Amino acid sequence: MKNIYIIGVGLIGGSLALDIKNLDATTTIYGIDKSDEHLDIALENGIIDRKATIEDIKNADLVIVAIPVDVTVKELPKLLDMVSDDTLIVDVGSTKEDICSAVENHPKRRNFLAMHPIAGTEFSGPNAAILGLYNGKTNIICEVEETAFKLQEKALKLFSDIGMRMRYMKPKAHDKHIAYMSHLSHISSFMLGKTVIDKEKNERDIFDMAGSGFESTVRLAKSSPEMWTPIFEQNKTNVIETLEEYINNLTQFKELMQRDDFEAIYNEMKNTNYIKQILNGIA
């Protein structure tokens, strides 16, 4: 895959570009973005080799779509209309069911691979792109059987070569699991940040008293609302379900405190410590 076009040269798309260029210097990376400033930064930082337009993707071997998920749903069918029979389009969105549904009956469905690399930071834009972001990370692949074998084979090898491990999942299952493992943590972080801002009116107090625990917990509240609002909208049903369970746990914790039942609180926290073993076992 020598001619790769990346639509959206921010953190996710830009980091993929850096990893691909590091793997094979003969690959030409073309950048497409609604922001001319982003393209200029990406070019200056060596993330892309050349600027391009949507019309140019007819020349692509691979197109990586790294834009908000609501825009992907609208634009993906049009992109498939434009590419050659030998071109593969992949998307990297955090939801999969609506995106896959948008092209399920498209004549070129075989030219699309749905994926979600589980990697990122709280930052956005081309300046946030990181070489090695995907090394050791999981890449969720959905409906691989719907993609032409020769096309998927090349892409999966590319993503494996830059260090990702593949896991295969149905779109519906992906969206349900990711609501717990990613979407809920982002909401928790945003709402913790909101609570502190609402109650601590003196910004200097927040700055001086914020320890590492607070900083790590609220880190995701720095994430882009432009990216995350469409994600919550597309995964609304699953997100609401996870929120209900989370709120129930918070309510139970509050009730235990009201009853001065700190032995029960200790046991809840002790039992939850098991998450360390789960994460250490997988790492």
Which pLDDT band, with edges at 50, 70 and 90, does 12 fall under? Answer: very high
Q: Which amino acid is at 163?
A: G
pLDDT over 60 (residue 217) = yes
pLDDT (tens digit per residue) in 229-274: 999 999 999 999 999 999 999 999 999 999 999 999 999 999 999 8
* Segment 17-39, tens digit of pLDDT: 999 999 999 999 999 999 999 99
Which segment of 55-64, 170-179, 193-202, 256-265 scores lowest on mean pLDDT? 193-202
> What domains, with CATH codes, occur in the chain?
3-171 (3.40.50.720), 174-282 (1.10.3660.10)
At 108 the pLDDT is 98
CA distances from 9 to 20, 50, 66, 107, 278 (A): 13, 12, 7, 28, 34
pLDDT tens column, 40-84:
999 999 999 999 999 999 999 999 999 999 999 999 999 999 999
Rounded Cα–Cα distance for residues 164 and 71 (Å): 26
Distance between CA atoms of residues 63 and 65, nearest Å: 6
pLDDT of residue 123: 87
Q: Is 279 or 160 the better-scoring residue by pLDDT?
A: 160
- How does pLDDT run across 136-168, given as a tens digit for each residue? 999 999 999 999 999 999 999 999 999 999 999
In this predicted structure, the answer to whether residue 283 has a pLDDT above a threshold of 60 is no
* 3-state SS assignment for residue 137: coil
Q: Which two tokens stand for residue 90?
A: 């992949």
114 confidence band (pLDDT: 50, 70, 90) = very high
- CB within 8 Å of 238: residues ≥ 6 apart: 175, 176, 178, 179, 183
The average pLDDT across 103-116 equals 98
List the beta bridge partners of residue 278.
none
Which pLDDT band, with edges at 50, 70 and 90, does 209 fall under?
A: low
Reported as a single tens digit per residue, the pLDDT across 126-137 is: 999 999 999 999
Pairing relationship of beta strands 138-142 and 112-117 according to DSSP bridges: antiparallel
> What is the model's pLDDT at position 185?
94
Average pLDDT over the chain, rounded to whole? 93
Tell me: pLDDT of 282 over 60.
no
DSSP characters for 227-281? HHHHHHHHTHHHHHHHHHHHHHHHHHHHHHHHTT-HHHHHHHHHHHTTHHHHHHH
Distance of CA 196 to the CA centre of its chain: 26
Q: Side by side, which strands form the sheet with 3-7?
A: 50-51, 28-32, 3-7, 62-65, 88-91, 112-117, 138-142, 165-169
